[in-house]
Homo-oligomer: A and B are copies of this chain.
Amino acid sequence: MRIAQLSRESAVPVATIKYYLREGLLPSGRLTSPNQAEYGPEHLSRLRLVRALLDIGRLPIATIRALLAEIDGPDPNLHQVLGRALRPTAGARAEVPDNGEAAAELAALMARQGWQVKTDAPARQAVAEVIAGLRSLGLHEFLDQLDGYARIAGELAELDFEVLGHTSQPEQLVHTAVVGTVLGDVLIAGLRRLAQQHVSGKRFGQQPG
């Protein structure tokens, strides 16, 4: 198909497709004349992945380029690819001046859970910031239950990989992992609210007023 049809089928504007081609996020089409290229279904699925990484995963272009190069390589290292793709997205944060203590607390928590994660994983920094924030706000009752929250997060990750187990093709795997993780965060937060309201009703619902 020509670029105009690729644009219609993917709902991505032609100018954006050309930008992805220039940035190396989409492989060139097959030239049928000096000014005309032909695109196939592999371009459609790649476009779908690039949009998910950009719009839903909020990954920087350079990270996406490196990630796609790894996927397209001869023997993709899926652990490394997922590590790059599943970065924590920004969330509500308390102001945190220093979190060395929180980082040590997190390291001890991870050791208790038996988690082996690289020391430079961005999620470590993100979690240490939340721990430091909760401490500065005096939420000690909450911090006392960190092991409980970590155990539940472990259940979530196991379920995530059960979902991923149905996928073996690297491009599809990364797509499902990124969308499932990022939209999954929103889903889990929403389901947590609904479950809280159910529990709140059971605990406090009998009150008059």
Contacts and interface: CB of A to CB of B under 8 A. Distances in A.
Interface of A: 52, 55-56, 58, 73, 75-80, 82-83, 86-89, 91-94, 110, 113-118, 121, 123-124, 126-127, 130-131, 133-134, 137, 139, 141-142, 144-145, 148-150, 152-164, 166-167, 176, 179-201, 203-205, 207-209
A83 B200 contact: yes
B86 A196 contact: yes
Nearest to A130: B187
A195 B88 contact: no
Nearest first, the 7 closest Cβ-Cβ pairs linking A and B are A153-B191, A157-B195, A77-B209, A91-B186, A123-B193, A127-B190, A79-B204
B152 A194 contact: no
A63 to B, nearest CB: 15
B86 A186 contact: no
28 contacts: A73-B209, A75-B208, A77-B204, A78-B203, A78-B207, A79-B201, A79-B207, A80-B209, A82-B204, A86-B193, A88-B189, A110-B194, A114-B198, A115-B195, A116-B201, A117-B197, A117-B198, A121-B194, A127-B191, A127-B194, A133-B183, A134-B187, A148-B162, A152-B188, A160-B192, A181-B193, A185-B189, A185-B192
Contacts of A208: 75, 77
A55 B75 CA distance: 46
A77 B203 CA distance: 11
B149 A152 contact: no
Contact of A176 (B93, B142, B193, B198): B142
A7 to B, nearest CB: 17
Given A141-B166, A185-B91, A188-B152, A194 B123 contact: yes
A135 to B, nearest CB: 11
Contact of A179 (B78, B134, B154, B203): B134
